Each structure stands twice: as structure tokens, then as C-alpha cells.
Amino acid sequence: MKKFIVITIMALCCYYSSAAQEDSIKTPKIFDTWISFNNQSKGLKGVLYEIRDSSILVSNSSLKADYLTGDFKVSNIDFKNIDYVSVRKKNRVLTGTIVGSVVGLATAVGFVRSAGGIDEFGGIIMLLYGTPAIALGAGIGALASSFRIKIPINGSFENFKSNERRLERYSYLNEYSNSMNIYEKAYEHKWFIGLIGGLSIPSGDFEHSIQNNTDEDFPKLGGNTDFILGYSFKQNYGISASYLNSSYNFKNSSTDTWWSVSSVLAGPMLSFPVKNSLYLDLKPMIGSTSASLNTDDSNEISGNGFSMYPCISIRYNFSIRLCALVETGYLFSTQKFEDGNKKIQTTNLSAGIAYRFR
């Protein structure tokens, strides 16, 4: 299941990365659009067609052929009547669902092959594991692609002008200009989701005395993967969550022995702009950690307990949708084992990429 989640995330990130690059090309594209009016419960759905000086045009057709023949109608909506505009690329949910389903199917096939290949029981295994894997992949794909980009207007001319270029980016007809817009403000997406990984260094009790290890037999340098999620309430304050998994082999061991450590963490996030698109994020997180000592195919001991994970990230937003991350953190956890409480301490050095949305 962990491999399935990681593969799904990587595939979806690749999909959205290519989609973000496509969006930057100045060719006519169709974006489904929802207009919310001030003090009205009923809105308007259509296609964002054109941005004018103080209004927007919304088309009633989502077919490119209609724009070539002129077989469509537009509604002219003044900025004073608009509460907010929401946009999403046409067929984005369908494409995300298909991508997720394919990833789920590929993961199920890989699982069946690793379990012994496609033999007389392969069909039964595929039915038992393939169906939920495909359904889960489709669900993740649909959910990840269902988000709309929300652009607030609130009946304000200043808000309309500050978001003018953003609106043009999603309109069928657009005019890109290098001239200065005195109303324009930098926009930062509030959510980001990503995958990072790197080195994990055992330290303290975990390195030497948790199992009364000698210098010839203790956990060596390991690796970690970290699935991260963040949300910014304001420019300098937000929340973050993390699913962290790491493993450590033993030095000079005659058997296949390793430690596995998994953590679910959450906490506040303090962000400080350094220069242009470069940010420093401080993330003091707490949560739950489980640790297990494994030999060959058996689990010798396992424990779980409360954990703290203060970490620092350097984040660089190198495109509208994507950012690169370099992160270091220190995990401290008191684990409750059958023979008493013991401490797990690790230092992690990671790097990766995240997708920004909304």
C-alpha cells in the first residue's frame, strides 16, 4: 500500500507538472468557469472567453469547433456584480481519474507479479487487490484534479485589476502585456503537496544502546521518504502535515536485519521570504511514531509512542505550480516496547518537489 501511494503521488505530480507547462503556452484553451454573483445564491457556469477593461465575457459553449464557426453566445458581466470567479481546465477531472486508474492497475499487476506471477491464482489475486487499487487510484486522481482555482473579485475594481492577468491566463482570448500594471500583486497558491526523500542518520540511544548493540552491530545510515502537505493562511503563517517513513540496515550483520520507523506528524508553519521566490519555512511538528525491528521476514519487536519533529525547509517556487524543497529535521520519539520505554532519535536530510494549487 505504501508503494502504491508513492507511485500514485509521483504519477499525479508528473501529470500536473506537464499540465502546468501546457497552461503556460499562449494558445487558446478552454477552462470551465463558475461565476458567483454578489448577494445571489444562483451563479453562472460557462467558459471564460475574454477579459475586458471592467468586465468579463463568459461563453455558453465548451467545444472548440464552435469558436471556429462562431456558433456560441457570450454574457458580459460587470466586475461590480462578481463575487468570485472559479476556473478549472476542461476534462481535468476525467483525465485525473483515468491517470489514477492506470496507476492503480499498474500497481496491482506489479503486486501480483511480486507475489508469484500470473498463475492459476493470478486472476483471483487481481480481483481481490486490483479492483480496490484501481478504485483508490481513480478516487485519488479525481480528488486531486477536482480543485478549482478561485479568484476573488468582491465587486472591487482594484481586486479585478490585481487579478486581471490571472484571469487572462485562463480565458480563451487573452492579451499578454509586459507593461506594468499598478494594481497587480504577487499571488501565492495556498496549498502544496509533495514528495521528498534523502538520508536519515540514527543518533543517541537509537544508534548505540536501544538493543544493547556493540560497535560492530548497530543501525547504519538509512534513507527516508516524506509525503508532505501544507496550507498557508497568510503569507507568513500556515499549517503542515507529514507522513515520514525511514529504514536502517545493520552494520556487519549476518542476517537481513533492519529497523523501520514511520511517523504521522502535524503542526504550525512559519514562512519567511528570503529573496524573490525563495522562502524559509519553520515547521515544529508533533505526532505519533511506530518503530519495528525486522529480521528476514519476521518482526522481532515493535513499539509506538509520541514524537516531536522540528524541521526547517528552504522552498523555491520556480514556476506557477511547482516548488523545490530542501529540508532537515530532527525526530525524537519515546517508544513503548514490551520490555519498557526506549528512545528513537534520527536526523533527516531530504530534498524533493511539491505541487502548489488553489
CB neighbour list of residue 14: distance below 8 Å, 6 or more residues apart: none
* Exposure string over 229-257, b if 16+ CB within 10 A, otherwise e: ebebeeeeebebbbbbbbbbebeeeeeeb
Q: So what's the pLDDT on residue 287?
A: 94
Which domains can be identified in the chain, with CATH numbers?
18-187 (no CATH), 191-357 (2.40.160.20)
Give the per-residue pLDDT at 332: 93
The span from the CA of 151 to the CA of 186, in Å, is 13
**How far apart are alpha carbons 105 and 133 in whole angstroms?**
7
Max CA pair span of the chain:
80
What is the reported pLDDT for 207? 64
Q: Please, are residues 283 and 267 in contact by the beta-carbon 8 Å criterion?
A: yes
- Averages of pLDDT over runs of 10 residues in the chain (358 residues) are 47 49 56 86 86 88 84 89 88 83 74 54 64 81 79 89 85 58 52 89 71 54 89 84 88 70 94 84 94 77 90 86 89 85 89 84
Contact 304, 291 (CB under 8 A): yes
Instruction: Report yes or no: 47 and 58 within 8 Å, Cβ to Cβ.
Output: yes
Q: Residue 31, Cα to own-chain centre: how many angstroms? A: 22
Q: Can you give the pLDDT at residue 175?
A: 53
Q: Which residue type occupies 58?
A: V
Sequence letter at residue 82: I
Cβ neighbours of residue 58 closer than 8 Å, sequence gap 6 or more: 33, 35, 44, 46, 47, 48, 49, 74, 75, 77
Q: Are 321 and 355 in contact (CB under 8 A)?
A: yes
The per-residue pLDDT for 183 is 43
Angle between helices 2-23 and 92-114 (to 10 degrees): 150
The pLDDT of residue 23 is 42
What was the pLDDT predicted at 114?
A: 54
Report the predicted TM-score, pTM, of the whole model to 2 decimal places.
0.52
Closest C-alpha to 221, from 253, 256, 259: 259
According to the model, what pLDDT value does residue 268 have?
A: 93
